[in-house]
């Protein structure tokens, strides 16, 4: 098929215009990036030494420096906030406290508390993240409320933020967030729980009795990772059949067994041995019991392991032979 | 004699924070933004101590220390590694490479300065 010269010429013109437009877009993007970098350099020069001084200033001068940085206006003030938000996750101790006081002084706490009820889920998630960084008693209630946000993204960010804020009173709410219906991945809620200080074992003991298997599973796992010996008997009760309340979920039973192994809870040794050889238990439970038995300390446990090796299936034997 | 310390970190904020803290403690501080520059400075200058981040573009802090120790002549300056939380492998590799101590991020600048003083007092 022949194409006329006119059509070819038109195509060349259109292509040339498209190329020019693309080139112009690249120039504009690069130009704006350079402008941003230039303005960052200018703002840096204006304020960076004062921000860094938060790490070295004498106690008597700290309040004045915090007031000074809190009241820096305009773009330089925004630069102060951005720099501190980048640095806070990397530092702890009195420097972190001083940085947070600057951000609170600049109204970031108030603005974030307002934004966490915004109509936009992006705004709510951003506010939740900032509240986690800012920490303190006043962020717990809005963040625990955000665990029930209609947006999964906001719920996820709120769970992470509660871990960053590290307030012990958030424990029960994060245990609830382990439920299967929350949509929050177990790893996120559990990681947040591992960050909390001074936790109450009763929260986890209650969690092990919850109707939701997600909460029972998460509670069992976190108790083991936290080495919370106060909850060992409750774990044991979830695992055993006779005289106890064996959990209906094999995953929960396996997790209880592993956590009992981590805790080195000696009264569970015989029950773990029985479970690791049980013909009724699924292979995953037998192996979890074997792993727990492997972790048990003391000469009695060594003797029990020797006995189990003679009776158990090949998978459990393989686990125990290395012990 | 005033101690000279090299701080190697690709994060300019943390590099400046550590440098500011150490300068306020009376040390002379030089900085590098990556492992390659850090290695070059460490092999061509005399420092009392090196503080280095682990994860950096080009060359990690651990590799930098390994190459310092393998240089001819070896650079035997004490090294503190700044490592992220839960990075036991980095710490293990760091000690195998010849680091003196490590500090886990998030870190306390005050504690870091105390560790520096302790190492330099040995």
Tens of pLDDT along A84-114?
Answer: 999 998 999 999 999 999 999 999 999 999 9
**B72 shares contact with chain A (CB less than 8 Å):** no
Q: What is the pLDDT of residue A42?
A: 75
Q: Which chain B residues touch A48 with a CB distance below 8 Å?
A: 16
Q: Is the pLDDT confidence value at B64 over 70?
A: yes
Q: Which chain B residues touch A94 with a CB distance below 8 Å?
A: 108, 110
Q: Is the pLDDT confidence value at A283 over 90?
A: yes
Mean pLDDT of A21-43: 85
The CB density around residue A76, as the number of other CB atoms within 10 Å, is 15
Q: Which chain A residues touch B21 with a CB distance below 8 Å?
A: 55-56
Q: Which residues make beta-bridge pairs with B82?
A: B53, B103
**A86 shares contact with chain B (CB less than 8 Å):** yes
Q: Which residue of B has its CA nearest to A57?
A: B24
Least CB–CB distance from A55: residue in B11, B17, B105: B17
Mean pLDDT of A209-229: 94
Q: Is the pLDDT confidence value at A183 over 80?
A: yes
**A92 shares contact with chain B (CB less than 8 Å):** yes
Mean pLDDT of A122-130: 96
Written in H, E and C, the secondary structure of chain A is CCCCHHHHHHHHHHHHHHHHHHHHHHHHHHHHHHHHHHHHHHHHHHHHHHHHHHHCCCHHHHHHHHHHHHCCCHHHHHHHHHHHHHHHHHECCHHHHHHHHHHHHCCHHHHHHHHCCCCCHHHHHHHHHHHHHHCCHHHHHHHHHHCCCCCHHHHHHHHHHHHHHCCHHHHHHHHHCCCHHHCCCHHHHHHHHHHCCCCCHHHHHHHHCCCCHHHHHHHHHHHHHCCCHHHHHHHHHHHCCCCCCCCCCHHHHHHHHHHHHHHCCHHHHHHHHHHHHCCCCCHHHHHHHHHHHHHCCCHHHHHHHHHHHHHCCHHHHHHHHCC
Cβ B20–A96 below 8 Å, yes or no?
no
| Stated pTM of the model | 0.74
Q: Is the pLDDT confidence value at A311 over 70?
A: yes
Q: Which chain A residues touch B17 with a CB distance below 8 Å?
A: 52, 55, 87, 91, 95
Q: Is the pLDDT confidence value at A244 over 80?
A: no
Q: List the single best residue of B7, B15, B16 to mutate versus A (max A Cβ within 10 A).
A: B16
**A310 shares contact with chain B (CB less than 8 Å):** no
Q: What is the pLDDT of residue A234?
A: 94
User: What is chain A's mean pLDDT, rounded?
Assistant: 91
Least CB–CB distance from A92: residue in B13, B17, B107: B107
Q: What is the pLDDT of residue A1?
A: 58
- pLDDT tens per residue, range B32-53: 999 999 999 999 999 999 999 9
Q: What is the pLDDT of residue A269?
A: 93
Q: Which chain A residues touch B53 with a CB distance below 8 Å?
A: none
Mean pLDDT of A149-165: 96
From A11-25, A201-215, A238-252, the region with the lowest mean pLDDT:
A238-252
Give the rounded percent of residues in chain A with a pLDDT score beyond 90: 73
Cβ A52–B11 below 8 Å, yes or no?
no
Q: Is the pLDDT confidence value at A45 over 80?
A: no
Q: What is the pLDDT of residue A194?
A: 93
Mean pLDDT of A215-235: 95
Mean pLDDT of A231-255: 88
Q: Is the pLDDT confidence value at A293 over 90?
A: yes
Using 50, 70 and 90 to split pLDDT, how confident is the model at A312? confident
**A90 shares contact with chain B (CB less than 8 Å):** yes
Cβ B13–A87 below 8 Å, yes or no?
yes
Cβ A95–B110 below 8 Å, yes or no?
yes
Mean pLDDT of B107-116: 94
Mean pLDDT of A36-53: 82
- pLDDT tens per residue, range A188-199: 999 999 999 988
Cβ B109–A87 below 8 Å, yes or no?
no
């Amino acid at each position: 098929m022949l194409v006329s010269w006119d059509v070819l010429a038109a195509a060349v013109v259109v292509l040339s215009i498209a190329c020019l437009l693309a080139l112009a877009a690249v120039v504009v993007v690069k130009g704006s990036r350079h402008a941003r970098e230039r303005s960052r350099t200018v703002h840096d020069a204006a304020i960076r030494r004062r921000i860094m001084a938060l790490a070295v200033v004498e106690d008597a001068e700290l309040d004045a420096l915090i007031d000074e940085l809190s009241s820096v206006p305009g773009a330089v003030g925004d630069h102060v906030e951005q720099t501190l938000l980048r640095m806070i996750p990397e530092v702890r101790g009195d420097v972190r406290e001083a940085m947070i006081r600057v951000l609170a002084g600049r109204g970031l706490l108030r603005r974030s508390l307002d934004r966490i009820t915004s109509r936009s889920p992006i705004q709510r998630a951003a506010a939740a993240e900032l509240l986690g960084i800012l920490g303190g008693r006043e962020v717990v209630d809005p963040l625990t409320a955000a665990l029930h946000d209609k947006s999964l993204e906001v719920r996820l960010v709120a769970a992470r933020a509660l871990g960053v804020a590290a307030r012990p009173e958030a424990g029960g709410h994060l245990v609830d967030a382990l439920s299967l219906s929350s949509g929050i991945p177990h790893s996120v809620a559990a990681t947040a729980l591992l960050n909390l200080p001074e936790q109450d074992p009763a929260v986890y003991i209650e969690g092990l009795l919850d109707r939701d298997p997600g909460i029972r599973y998460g509670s069992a796992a976190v108790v083991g990772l936290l080495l919370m010996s106060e909850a060992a008997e409750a774990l044991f009760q979830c695992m055993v059949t006779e005289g106890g309340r064996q959990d209906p979920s094999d995953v929960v039973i396996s997790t209880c067994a592993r956590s009992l192994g981590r805790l080195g809870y000696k009264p569970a040794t015989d029950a773990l041995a029985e479970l690791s050889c049980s013909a009724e238990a699924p292979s995953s439970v037998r192996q979890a019991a074997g792993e727990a038995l492997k972790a048990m300390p003391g000469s009695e446990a060594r003797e029990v392991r020797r006995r189990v090796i003679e009776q158990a299936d090949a998978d459990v034997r393989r686990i125990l032979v290395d012990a | 004699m005033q101690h000279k310390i090299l701080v190697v970190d690709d994060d300019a904020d943390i590099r400046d924070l550590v440098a500011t803290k150490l300068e306020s403690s009376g040390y002379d501080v030089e900085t590098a933004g990556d492992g390659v520059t850090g290695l070059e400075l460490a092999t061509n200058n005399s420092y009392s101590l090196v503080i280095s981040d682990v994860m950096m573009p080009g060359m990690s802090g651990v590799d930098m220390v390994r190459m310092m120790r393998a240089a001819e002549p070896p650079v035997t300056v004490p090294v503190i590694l700044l490592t992220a939380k839960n990075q036991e492998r980095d710490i293990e590799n760091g000690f195998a490479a010849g680091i003196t101590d490590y500090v886990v991020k998030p870190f306390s600048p005050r504690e870091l300065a105390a560790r520096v003083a302790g190492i330099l007092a040995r």
